[in-house]
């Protein structure tokens, strides 16, 4: 019996030795096929300015003449503005806008399709303080009504370049008068504007003759008369009047509008560019521009003609 046990023990020992040798052999084989190396990755990004604007539509409902449309009346997503995302590769340090406007006087026509919705857009961001029109276009009226002006404005006078009209700011209206230096040429002249607004409950400033006379000088390269005004206690605007006297534009945040970049409209007061809260907007970063609509008094009911707000950025 003792011999058998010894033989069995020898057999078990041999089997264990074989198992150990087999395991070690497998490990040795596997280790022989392992290898690694490294690859260096280099990427050089080109300089590209790209921007993505969202949302692509803003729609306001439930507002009337003299009202302000904001996120409470924006019906797509209760949006308070637009988000500008830098999807390019360069820092963006300048941002400005352009809005469409009507081509002829819409007021008094009774047709909502004559009113451009984008002409009512105001914008600001949280470093600027005042909601401002991008390029509000106003048209001359043929009668100065009960407003005392330097020249008695009539249809014939308007045709000669003596203009009277209103800067419409929702429920506030500021009257203005323009007198050209030369008949039918509005690239030079004098501008007066109300000190206080006409509202639903107040006639405001009805005598423009005792207001500050603002000199309108011709743009150095364009057929426009240019000056700068502060409307009431609100923001400063650059005012541009074409030589043909067809309209009066009040603009801010628009570096492409007539007068932007000239000594007649300072960037500090007129504001060609909307200031970035991040300054600059880095690639992958998002900047918000807050948007409202100021609906003028005298706007007829129904859907207005759709307008367009265009955003420009630059490094």
pLDDT digits (tens, 9 = 90+) for 131-160: 999 999 999 999 999 999 998 888 888 889
* Domain identity same for 112 and 212: yes
Helices (H) then strands (E): counts for the chain: 3, 16
Span of 1-5, 167-171, 262-266 with lowest mean pLDDT:
1-5
Residues 6 and 123 in one domain: no
| pLDDT class of 268 with cuts at 50, 70, 90 | low
Residue 272 has pLDDT above 80, yes or no: no
Residues 6+ apart with CB under 8 A from 174: 166, 167, 193, 194, 197, 198, 204, 205, 231, 232
Which residues, at least 6 apart from 263, have a Cβ–Cβ distance to it below 8 Å?
Answer: none
Q: Which residues have CB under 8 Å from 241's CB, separation 6+?
A: 163, 178, 186, 187, 189, 191, 216, 224, 225, 226, 247, 248, 249
Residues 237 and 132: beta-carbon distance below 8 Å: yes
For residue 80, give its domain range: 51-314
- Predicted pLDDT of residue 150: 92
Does residue 174 lie within any of the structural domains?
Answer: yes
Q: Is the peptide bond before 193 cis (omega within 30 degrees of 0)?
A: no
Look up residue 285 and give its two tokens.
Answer: 């970063």
What number is the average pLDDT over the span 159-164? 94
What percentage of the chain carries pLDDT values higher than 90? 73
Q: Could you tell me if residue 46 is inside a domain?
A: no
Query: Is 96 in the same domain as 16?
Result: no
How many domains does one find in the chain? 2
Is it the case that residue 274 has pLDDT exceeding 90? Answer: no
Cβ–Cβ contacts within 10 Å for residue 212, how many? 10
pLDDT at 24: 53
The radius of gyration of the chain from alpha carbons, rounded to an integer in Å, stands at: 35
Domain co-membership, 134 together with 2? no
The reply to whether 17 and 131 lie within a common domain is: no
Residues 136, 11 share a domain: no
Most confident of 2-6, 31-35, 292-296: 292-296
Residue 298 · residue 198 · CB < 8 Å: no
pLDDT at position 14 over 50: no
Is 217 among the domain residues?
A: yes
Rounded average pLDDT over 218-226: 96
User: Do 205 and 309 share a structural domain?
Assistant: yes
The pTM assigned to this predicted structure is 0.86
State whether 143 and 257 are in the same domain: yes
Distance from chain centroid for Cα 65? 23
Residue 158 vs residue 166, higher pLDDT:
166
Angstrom distance (rounded) from CA 68 to CA 191: 28
Question: Do 32 and 151 share a structural domain?
Answer: no
Residues 14 and 161 in one domain: no
Query: Rounded mean pLDDT of 250-273?
Result: 81
Residue 136, in any domain of the structure: yes
Q: Give the pLDDT of residue 60.
A: 98
Burial of residue 112, with CB atoms counted within 10 A of its CB: 0-12 exposed, 13-18 middle, 19 or more buried: middle
Give me the mean pLDDT over the 7-20 stretch: 49
pLDDT one-digit tens code per residue, 55-73: 999 999 999 999 999 999 9
Q: What is the pLDDT of residue 29?
A: 56
Whether 91 is covered by a domain: the verdict is yes
User: Is residue 126 situated within a structural domain?
Assistant: yes
Closest C-alpha among 224, 134, 109, 233 to residue 178 = 224
Specify the pLDDT at position 26. 53
């Amino acid at each position: 019996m003792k011999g058998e046990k010894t033989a069995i023990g020898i057999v078990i020992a041999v089997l264990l030795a074989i198992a150990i040798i087999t395991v070690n052999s497998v490990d040795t084989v596997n280790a022989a096929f392992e290898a690694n190396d490294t690859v260096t990755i280099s990427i050089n990004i080109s300089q590209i300015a790209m921007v993505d604007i969202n949302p692509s539509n803003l729609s306001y409902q439930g507002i009337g003449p003299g009202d302000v449309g904001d996120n409470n009346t924006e019906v797509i997503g209760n949006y308070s503005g637009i988000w500008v995302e830098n999807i390019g590769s360069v820092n963006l340090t300048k941002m400005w806008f352009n809005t469409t406007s009507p081509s002829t006087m819409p007021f008094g026509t009774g047709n909502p399709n004559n009113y451009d919705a984008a002409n009512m857009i105001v914008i600001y961001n949280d470093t600027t303080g005042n909601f401002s029109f991008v390029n509000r276009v106003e048209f001359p009226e043929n009668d100065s009504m009960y407003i005392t002006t330097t020249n008695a404005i009539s249809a014939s006078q308007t045709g000669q370049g003596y203009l009277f009209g209103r800067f419409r700011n929702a429920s506030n209206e500021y009257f203005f008068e323009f007198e050209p230096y030369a008949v039918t040429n509005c690239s030079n002249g004098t501008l007066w504007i109300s000190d206080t607004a006409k509202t639903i409950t107040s006639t405001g400033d009805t005598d423009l003759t005792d207001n500050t006379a603002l000199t309108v000088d011709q743009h150095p390269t364009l057929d426009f008369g240019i000056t700068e005004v502060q409307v009431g206690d609100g923001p400063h605007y650059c005012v541009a009047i074409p030589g043909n006297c067809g309209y009066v534009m009040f603009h801010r945040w628009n570096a492409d509008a007539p007068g932007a970049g000239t000594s007649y409209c300072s960037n500090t007061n007129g504001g060609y560019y909307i200031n970035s809260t991040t300054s600059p907007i880095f690639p992958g970063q998002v900047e918000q521009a807050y948007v409202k609509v100021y609906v003028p008094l005298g706007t007829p009911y129904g859907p207005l003609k759709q307008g367009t707000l265009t955003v420009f950025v630059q490094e």
